[in-house]
Amino acid sequence: MLPNPRHLILNLLLGAGGEALPASDAVAACALFGVSENSTRVALARLAATGFVALAGRGAYRLGPQAAGLAADVSRWRDAEQRVCDWQGGWIAVHVAGLGRSHRATLRSRERALGLLGLVEFERGLHLRPDNLAGGVHAVRSRLAALRLEPAAPVFVARDFDAAGEQRARRLWDGAALTRHYRDTHQRLADWLAGAGALAPAVAARESFVLGHDAIRALVFDPLLPAPLVDVAARRHFAATVRQFDTAGQAIWQRFFATQRARPVAARARPTPSLETTS
């Protein structure tokens, strides 16, 4: 199944740090994933029509006004560890049981906002997370509002559960699985970087995109749990490796684009059987 070219283009722009993306580069990048030039240009037109991208000179695009919130959220992964503080045992609670569930777009927005803040359902309509984010409940309330959680949802601090409730709250997350993921993904990224120099530019670009996208997404949605729920040192090590990988990936993509621009039009990146079938 071919990846969605709109997602590919948005991810390229999100990683570009505000720089414009020539349409020819978008075509070359999408071709690595089996997306045709026509499909890429249609995707660019649709993104422009909805305000997610905007023209930035002749034949180039940058993120548009509709992507501003998305860009701000995604960029937060780089400084995630600066947004945590010591945990004193309290819980941030959000109660959504009184909100409607019939409007799909509103429900998706609500679930995304809760997910980005690491809030998990404790019991029907009541979501919890440890109160270990810098700024406490006021900062969480503000960020949820920016993520378009309905203002009618109460956001407060919960404390003093009985022993059974406390243990049930702590088991909302599989901390051992999160810690394994930090360690395993750190090693996978480090191993790939060690061998990246031997890869052809197109292969390196494609593989770095896939690995980097998955690792960054994991950090964007990481609940940033405190100890003892997870190994915080393992998460910090993982985050540092992702930052290193992202820097290397940007350089790899710049080399790939430079290689493509130097080639005759007829020879520029097209899907190849080896690339199309790589998982």
Does residue 187 belong to any structural domain of this protein?
A: yes
- Is 77 a domain residue? no
- Do 62 and 134 fall within a single domain? no
The boundaries of the domain holding residue 19 are: 5-70
pLDDT at 191: 97
- Report pLDDT for 237: 96
Distances (CA, A) of 158 to 22, 74, 126, 228: 50, 28, 11, 19
Instruction: Note whether residue 163 is domain-resident.
Output: no
Specify whether 33 is located in the same domain as 101. Answer: no
One domain for residues 242 and 195: yes
Arithmetic mean of pLDDT, 229-235: 97
Residue 169, in any domain of the structure: no
CA distances from 207 to 7, 20, 195, 239 (A): 16, 23, 12, 19
Say whether both 197 and 261 belong to one domain. Answer: yes
pLDDT in tens, 9-40: 998 898 877 789 999 999 999 999 999 999 99
In a domain, 202, yes or no: yes
Q: Are residues 214 and 245 in the same domain?
A: yes
SS (H, E, C) 95-120: ECCCCCCCCHHHHHHHHHHHHHCCCE
- Count CA atoms within 13 Å of residue 111 on its CB side: 8
3 state SS of 223: coil
Please give the average per-residue pLDDT across 221-246, as a whole number. 96
Tell me the pLDDT tens digit for each residue of 68-98: 877 877 778 888 889 999 999 999 999 999 8
For the domain that residue 116 is a member of, what is the CATH number? 3.30.70
pLDDT score for 265: 57
Q: Is residue 18 part of a domain?
A: yes
201 and 245 inside one domain: yes
Range 147-166 average pLDDT: 94
Is the domain of 148 the same as that of 180? no
Per-residue pLDDT reduced to its tens digit, 119-151: 999 999 999 999 999 999 999 999 999 888 999
- Rounded Cα distance between 234 and 197, Å, is 27
Q: For the domain that residue 30 is a member of, what is the CATH number?
A: 1.10.10.10
Total residue count of the chain as it appears in this document: 279
Asked if residue 103 and residue 134 are part of one domain, the reply reads yes
| Tally of domains within the chain | 3
User: Is 128 found in the same domain as 60?
Assistant: no
pLDDT tens for 172-200 read 999 999 999 999 999 999 999 999 999 99
Encoded tokens for 222: 């990481």
Q: Which backbone phi and psi does 152 adopt, to 5 degrees?
A: -75, -10
Q: Say if 258 falls within a structural domain.
A: yes
- The mean pLDDT value of the chain amounts to 89
User: Judging by DSSP bridges, how do beta strands 155-158 and 53-55 pair with one another?
Assistant: unpaired
User: With bands split at pLDDT 50, 70 and 90, how would you rate the model's confidence at 269?
Assistant: low
| Whether residue 193 is found in the same domain as residue 154 | no
Residue-wise pLDDT for 40-57, tens only, equals: 999 999 999 999 999 988
Domain contains 151? yes
For residue 38, what pLDDT is reported? 94
Question: Where does a domain end: 132, 158, 184?
Answer: 158
Q: Any idea which residue has 């020539």 for tokens?
A: 22
Q: Which of 264, 253, 266 is nearest to 203 (CA)?
A: 253
